Amino acid sequence: MAEYLTYAKSGVNIDANDEMVERIKSSVQSTFGPRVIDLHGGFAGLFRLDYDEKIFKKNFKSPILVACTDGVGTKVLVARDLKKFDTLGYDLVAMSVNDMLVMGAEPLFFLDYLALHTLDPVKVAELVESIAAACRVANCALIGGETAEMPDVYKKDDFDMAGFAVGVAERNKIINGSKIEVGDVILGLASSGLHSNGFALARNICFKKMKLKPEKEIPELGGLSIGDCLLAPTKIYVRPIIKLLSQYKIKQVVHGMAHITGGGLVGNVPRVLPAGCDAVLEKSAWKKQPIFDFLQKNGPVEEEEMFRVFNMGIGYVVVVSKDFADSVAKKLCSYGETVYKIGVIRKGSGNVILK
């Protein structure tokens, strides 16, 4: 008698998927606000934009939807090797919501995509729970996602993840850098470490050249294991920046912002500079986390390359009118951020000058 083939025998376990869905249900629902329409078993997420004075505190007069998508790169390999999955959700959410934040947009909702060799309900639940926790920090709803079990594509224990965020901005308040002018002050908000960029180089140094085990504790890194240090979650800057912008309803004192991701300060700040302006940055103006010196020393890596690859301790940049620089910095500090005055805007040709 012929043996019948099944989906499970082909490498896809529907029962494991059902168990995973049950495990993540409460975490996902914890991100819902009154704008989410919870449709059990729905094929898509529903989110209302209309205004209801009894429910919502404000409405947008001319709303512009803003959308972003991103992943976390080879940081997933560090998590895989350390078997630690409770921080990657912060990275995934942060990479998109911080990008849209640059334009003054507030995140509305988020969706995730996880692809892996074998669907382990506990592991996937840990990943999704971290995504939901990050969504709560970013004030956005996790309204949908997809988990794809593909043993023919991914090797055992391998996985990847991507995120998709949609936000909203008032049309006449979109921040695009066009108001940046000579004399503006550049404020830098501290990063939490590497965030989610430069991991090909970092992994090359730590695991190929130095042959460190992810669990190896490093004295120069405060006794943290190299794996835990590399997995430090990306900071989400949504709450302090949105709160800051709400303080200036008439005057637009924030002239430009940049999320410092791949390309570092020298690659991302020019994206918001108008023609005729340079950003002059003082490298001694802020304190770097020990991981950057560790990587530069053990590479070794030239300083110029470090600034092209890593955020070097600054995860987010705010360019403000010089007359409001002190008050803006004070406000951001009161919101819990570590803020440095890292430079000024000078006449130039759209470049970053490191001094």
| Residue 269 vs residue 144, higher pLDDT | 269
The pLDDT value recorded for residue 48 is 75
Sorted by where each begins, the domain ranges of the chain are: 14-173, 185-354
Instruction: Name the percent of the chain lying above pLDDT 70.
Output: 88
pLDDT at position 118 over 80? yes
Rounded distance, CA 187 to CA 341, Å? 5
Q: Which CATH number fits domain 14-173: 2.60.40.10, 3.30.1330.10, 3.30.70.980, 3.40.50.670?
A: 3.30.1330.10
Q: Closest by alpha carbon to 184, among 64, 88, 119, 280?
A: 280
Burial 211-230 (b: 16+ CB within 10 A, else e): ebebeeebeebeebbbbbbb
**185-354: which CATH topology?**
Phosphoribosyl-aminoimidazole Synthetase; Chain A, domain 2 (3.90.650)
Burial 12-37 (b: 16+ CB within 10 A, else e): bbeebbebbbebbeebbeebbeebbe
pLDDT at position 329 over 70? yes
Rounded distance, CA 78 to CA 187, Å? 31
Overall average pLDDT of the 107-129 stretch:
92
User: At 46, is the pLDDT very low, low, confident or very high (cuts 50, 70, 90)?
Assistant: confident
The pLDDT value recorded for residue 25 is 66
Q: By the 8 A CB rule, do 317 and 332 touch?
A: no
**Residue 211 C-beta-side C-alpha neighbours within 13 Å:** 0
For residue range 2-33, what is the model confidence (pLDDT) as tens digits? Answer: 676 556 666 666 666 666 566 666 666 777 77
The pLDDT value recorded for residue 113 is 96
The pLDDT value recorded for residue 194 is 97
User: At 249, is the pLDDT very low, low, confident or very high (cuts 50, 70, 90)?
Assistant: confident
